[in-house]
Chains A and B, each alone.
Chain A
Amino acid sequence: MTTRLLINGRARDVDVEPHRTLLEVLRDTLGIFDAKEGCNEGVCGACTVLLDGRPVSSCLVLAVATRGKPITTVRGLERDGDLHPLQDAFLRHGAVQCGFCTPGMLLTAYAFVEAHPHPDRAAIREALEGNLCRCTGYTKIVDAVEDYARNRCG
């Protein structure tokens, strides 16, 4: 089934079998490795992408069902080849260790701060509840998101 996927603002017509998840099509068909496969059951958040601006588990979405809807992977956060300020905050705070959780953390945090521009730490922790990190212990991730949200609003 030829399906039009809108990935990071670019339309791609892809031949997709209906039983393929978006995660499989991104990685195996298109070679886009921004979304990671962790649990394949919606728990870990490593495969997070934004669909219509909202975080979803790409392991639990059929690729055909996303036809015509904007998909954002972590690379979609870049601004003219520069890191997004949120990515920059992750770097400065040491919020990245192995990096496996990072694309999902970034996209989830980005969508959260768009919807809640003045979050406190507790709200940030709660927003990231569904994204597991095995390395950082979360503190530096929360620091980075807090810093980004604060500076974003001036």
Chain B
Amino acid sequence: MSRVAEFIFRRRGRNGWHWTDVFTWVWLIGGLFIMFGPAVWLVGSSFKSPAALAEFPPSIMPYVTQKATVEGYDKPLDLYEVTMPEGSKKVLAEVRRIGIVAQMVSPDKPTEIVKVNIAERTPVRTMSFATSNYSEPFTHFDFVRYLWNSVFVTVTATVITLIVNSMAAFALSKYEFRGRTFAMLLILATLMVPLSVIMVPLYSIISALGLFNNLWGVILPTVATPTGVFILRQYMLTIPDELIDAARMDKASEWQIYWRIVLPLTAPALAVLAIFSVVWRWNDFLWPLIVLSRKELYTLQVGLSVYSGELNVQWHFILAMTVVTMIPVVLVFIFLQRFITTGIAGTGLK
């Protein structure tokens, strides 16, 4: 056991703990809580009923106060465990509360009101997951629409991104032509023109094309990413030119060379770009917010932000929808983390 501990907490100090060892573990454990904690808290909260969400101090797990239907009262009443003056404990239902005094009844004797100081009682609670937070938005709100819009935008944009960018990268890596350097520089220069700089005129162009309030208006401006062209081109440069000559001798047309030789061999870089594109498009916010003003066209991100900005925020739904919005990204994270981190380390791409 101690050997395991020794292995886990490999230290700098040969005997005893050097301050850097202490600092390292404080940082790591602290990081674990700060980085994961909020998301875990979000997921936990998303299963709480609205009443439990309004509580302070909040409970860690989702509890609901038990209720009982008492004769003579229309609504179910909350149950409390009350410490009676003589010291015995009893389960009573609350009728109403005035200041620090609650009027309570025993469920078996609905007529007899007992006045109890609220300090003398605790609610009777059981753990319960409010799955309706999840199911209701799916049935009552436009949530399914938003989900579908997001999926449509993400998938379409990614497919187009891959095709258009890989074609350009192919031209820029495997052909000699006049203006190649210029085209390359032009593409790189657009790195300097982020959306936030051109959103006003871009909006007018989208409107002129009739793409305002249209998912294509969200998709098209995003698909020609300079970073995409760049990483694909770098990768294609490593494919030997002899292979392409061989294909030409084999009577392959240029399109076939692109489609049957170069694309399959670029698969690793395409996969990286695909992953990034999915995350980018899924997370996009500002541009969809500008282009989409009709509710039924909102993507998840826009929908969530609009709902959360309403006056009486329905947090129980918002939290659950946020969790759903997180799911694809978390899946990508769990299964493709290695891929992404090496991709970032290699290209500085985000």
Does B bind A?
A: no
Interface of A with B (CB < 8 Å)? none
